[in-house]
Protein backbone atom coordinates (compact mmCIF):
# COMPACT_ATOMS: atom_id res chain seq x y z
CA UNK A 1 0.00 0.00 0.00
CA UNK A 2 1.38 3.42 -0.89
CA UNK A 3 0.65 7.01 0.03
CA UNK A 4 0.68 9.93 -2.40
CA UNK A 5 1.62 13.27 -0.93
CA UNK A 6 -0.27 15.86 -2.98
CA UNK A 7 0.98 19.17 -1.57
CA UNK A 8 1.58 21.00 1.68
CA UNK A 9 -1.74 22.21 3.09
CA UNK A 10 -0.38 24.92 5.40
CA UNK A 11 2.58 26.11 7.39
CA UNK A 12 2.22 27.55 10.87
CA UNK A 13 4.13 30.37 12.49
CA UNK A 14 3.91 31.36 16.13
CA UNK A 15 3.82 34.82 17.60
CA UNK A 16 3.45 36.39 21.04
CA UNK A 17 -0.01 36.29 22.61
CA UNK A 18 -2.13 39.26 21.49
CA UNK A 19 0.04 40.07 18.45
CA UNK A 20 -2.50 39.22 15.74
CA UNK A 21 -2.55 42.81 14.48
CA UNK A 22 1.22 42.72 13.92
CA UNK A 23 0.79 39.41 12.08
CA UNK A 24 -1.90 40.96 9.88
CA UNK A 25 0.29 43.99 9.17
CA UNK A 26 3.13 41.78 7.97
CA UNK A 27 1.47 38.82 6.25
CA UNK A 28 -1.44 40.73 4.73
CA UNK A 29 -0.19 44.32 4.65
CA UNK A 30 3.37 43.71 3.44
CA UNK A 31 3.34 40.27 1.80
CA UNK A 32 -0.16 40.71 0.38
CA UNK A 33 -1.73 37.45 1.57
CA UNK A 34 -5.48 37.59 2.17
CA UNK A 35 -6.68 36.90 5.68
CA UNK A 36 -9.22 34.08 5.70
CA UNK A 37 -11.72 33.29 8.43
CA UNK A 38 -10.91 30.41 10.72
CA UNK A 39 -13.50 27.63 10.98
CA UNK A 40 -15.81 27.95 13.96
CA UNK A 41 -14.44 24.65 15.25
CA UNK A 42 -10.98 26.19 15.77
CA UNK A 43 -9.79 28.29 18.67
CA UNK A 44 -10.81 31.93 18.15
CA UNK A 45 -7.24 33.20 18.63
CA UNK A 46 -4.66 33.53 15.89
CA UNK A 47 -5.11 34.40 12.22
CA UNK A 48 -4.92 32.58 8.90
CA UNK A 49 -3.71 33.83 5.52
CA UNK A 50 -3.98 32.42 1.99
CA UNK A 51 -2.98 33.14 -1.58
CA UNK A 52 -2.67 30.96 -4.70
CA UNK A 53 -2.64 27.63 -2.87
CA UNK A 54 -0.37 28.82 -0.05
CA UNK A 55 -1.91 28.90 3.41
CA UNK A 56 -0.14 30.17 6.52
CA UNK A 57 -1.61 29.96 10.02
CA UNK A 58 -0.51 32.25 12.83
CA UNK A 59 -0.88 30.95 16.36
CA UNK A 60 -0.16 32.77 19.61
CA UNK A 61 2.31 31.07 21.93
CA UNK A 62 2.67 32.19 25.57
CA UNK A 63 6.27 30.89 25.49
CA UNK A 64 7.04 32.42 22.09
CA UNK A 65 10.55 32.14 20.70
CA UNK A 66 11.21 33.02 17.03
CA UNK A 67 11.85 30.12 14.64
CA UNK A 68 15.21 31.04 13.16
CA UNK A 69 16.25 27.70 11.68
CA UNK A 70 13.16 25.72 10.64
CA UNK A 71 11.15 27.79 8.15
CA UNK A 72 8.78 27.63 5.18
CA UNK A 73 10.30 28.10 1.72
CA UNK A 74 7.75 29.67 -0.62
CA UNK A 75 8.05 29.68 -4.41
CA UNK A 76 7.07 32.99 -6.02
CA UNK A 77 6.88 34.07 -9.65
CA UNK A 78 8.42 37.53 -9.20
CA UNK A 79 11.15 37.67 -6.59
CA UNK A 80 12.18 41.18 -7.66
CA UNK A 81 8.69 42.55 -6.98
CA UNK A 82 8.63 40.93 -3.55
CA UNK A 83 12.03 42.46 -2.77
CA UNK A 84 10.73 45.89 -3.85
CA UNK A 85 7.73 45.42 -1.57
CA UNK A 86 9.98 44.53 1.38
CA UNK A 87 12.31 47.45 0.58
CA UNK A 88 9.34 49.84 0.60
CA UNK A 89 8.48 48.68 4.13
CA UNK A 90 12.05 48.64 5.44
CA UNK A 91 12.11 44.84 5.81
CA UNK A 92 15.63 43.44 5.54
CA UNK A 93 16.45 40.30 3.56
CA UNK A 94 19.57 38.42 2.53
CA UNK A 95 19.97 37.07 -0.98
CA UNK A 96 21.56 33.64 -1.32
CA UNK A 97 22.79 31.87 -4.45
CA UNK A 98 23.56 28.46 -2.90
CA UNK A 99 20.39 26.67 -4.13
CA UNK A 100 20.98 25.54 -7.76
CA UNK A 101 18.29 26.54 -10.23
CA UNK A 102 16.74 29.18 -7.98
CA UNK A 103 17.15 32.77 -6.95
CA UNK A 104 16.24 33.17 -3.31
CA UNK A 105 16.41 35.24 -0.17
CA UNK A 106 15.74 34.86 3.52
CA UNK A 107 13.92 37.38 5.66
CA UNK A 108 12.12 37.45 8.99
CA UNK A 109 8.51 38.23 9.76
CA UNK A 110 7.46 40.83 12.32
CA UNK A 111 8.35 38.39 15.14
CA UNK A 112 11.75 37.20 13.95
CA UNK A 113 10.55 33.95 12.35
CA UNK A 114 12.67 33.05 9.33
CA UNK A 115 11.00 32.93 5.90
CA UNK A 116 12.57 31.87 2.61
CA UNK A 117 11.30 32.99 -0.79
CA UNK A 118 12.49 31.41 -4.05
CA UNK A 119 12.01 31.90 -7.76
CA UNK A 120 12.80 29.01 -10.09
CA UNK A 121 15.14 29.89 -12.93
CA UNK A 122 13.18 27.60 -15.29
CA UNK A 123 10.05 25.45 -15.37
CA UNK A 124 11.95 22.28 -14.47
CA UNK A 125 12.78 23.75 -11.04
CA UNK A 126 9.14 24.51 -10.15
How would residue 124 be classed by pLDDT, with cut points 50, 70 and 90? low
Report whether pLDDT(74) > 70.
yes
Cα–Cα distance for residue pair 108/116, rounded to 1 Å: 8
Predicted TM-score (pTM) of this structure: 0.90
Contact 99, 79 (CB under 8 A): no
Query: What's the rounded mean pLDDT across residues 15-36?
Result: 96
Query: Three-state DSSP class for 103?
Result: strand
Alpha-carbon separation of residue 108 from 4, 32, 86, 93, 123 (angstroms)? 32, 15, 11, 8, 27
- In the chain the domains, ranked by start, together with CATH numbers, are 11-125 (3.10.180.10)
pLDDT, average across residues 89-114: 96
Nearest by Cα to 14 from 50, 55, 65 = 65
Mean pLDDT of the chain: 93
User: Given a cut of 60, is residue 111 above it in pLDDT?
Assistant: yes
Phi, psi of 55 (to 5 degrees): -125, 135
Residue 78 has pLDDT above 90, yes or no: yes
What is residue 6's predicted lDDT score, i.e. its pLDDT?
81
Amino acid sequence: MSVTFARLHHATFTHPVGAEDEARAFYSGILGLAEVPKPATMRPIGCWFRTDGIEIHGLPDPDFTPHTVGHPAILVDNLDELMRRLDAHGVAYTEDDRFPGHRRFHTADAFGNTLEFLQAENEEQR
